[in-house]
Amino acid sequence: MSTKLFVGSLPWSVKDNTLQEIFEEHGTVVSAKVITDRETGRSRGFGFVEMENSSEAGKAMKALNNSELDGRNIVVNEAKPRS
């Protein structure tokens, strides 16, 4: 079963493909999406990555949480279900 991760504090320059490439180093990525503002199309500074299984997601979380990406320390946590 896949696991969805929340990725916060992203630099404005990060796009979906960059996010996917970073996480692919730690396992199989099902999807990677940077959330953008509907009106401006500009990044909102966070996104979601879906990993194929929970063990790969755990490895990615451990390796990437509080790591530096383009001068910013990113936050990686397991995504909470939408309410």
CATH code at position 54: 3.30.70.330
The domain tally of the chain equals 1
40 vs 63: CA distance, rounded Å: 32
- 71, part of any domain: yes
Contacts for 6 with CB less than 8 Å, ≥ 6 apart = 46, 48, 75, 76, 77, 78, 79, 80
Domain span holding position 30? 3-77
- 70, part of any domain: yes
- 82, part of any domain: no
- 49, part of any domain: yes
Cβ-contact 1, 54 below 8 angstroms: yes
What digits encode the pLDDT tens for the residues 6-45?
Answer: 999 999 999 999 999 999 999 999 999 999 999 999 999 9
State residue 23 phi and psi, 5-degree precision: -80, -25
What digits encode the pLDDT tens for the residues 47-83?
Answer: 999 999 999 999 999 999 999 999 999 999 999 988 8
